[in-house]
Structure 1
């Protein structure tokens, strides 16, 4: 007899230490992880993929006290590519005029 556990799996909680984000214009703002989710929601409506990308990106920036928006964008793009979603990575690069172009892209991955 097969017993299936119908409880949701426990989610690991990542301790986010990022307090500030440096914007493209050099100004600092309080880090808001919800902005990453919002940008991913504009990109796709696949909730499972959004949660996975968000968790992987937050895990990669967990140890930072401060991070810049360009690095966050590069991490999101590289995560999309590593999860075999190059079409979404391209759309994300084009999401804003300040998007990182492929010639400027540096592979940033910590997993």
Structure 2
């Protein structure tokens, strides 16, 4: 679950923090989606097995949906400029912050 929280924290970072991360690790914006998905899929498996509450899926759903829409939209959403200026990235950050809050509530 820590990996998922960390991925959400990174998605919630301000644009300048995300750009710094990308520069430091020499990755593109899609790395944030990959990190989220790497943590999201196992957690969803645990939810479907009944090992974690269904409320966790509801909390994470908006972030997964936005990332899927960004992927469908094509490469324009996956640029440094988009990270800085895109309304979709702003919505993603907001959804990630809400998911972090919801995840804390769902776990307790």
Q: Same fold (TM over 0.5)?
A: no
Query: Which is richer in strand?
Result: 1
Q: What TM-score, normalized by structure 2, do the two folds share?
A: 0.32
Q: What TM-score, normalized by structure 1, do the two folds share?
A: 0.31
Larger Rg: 1
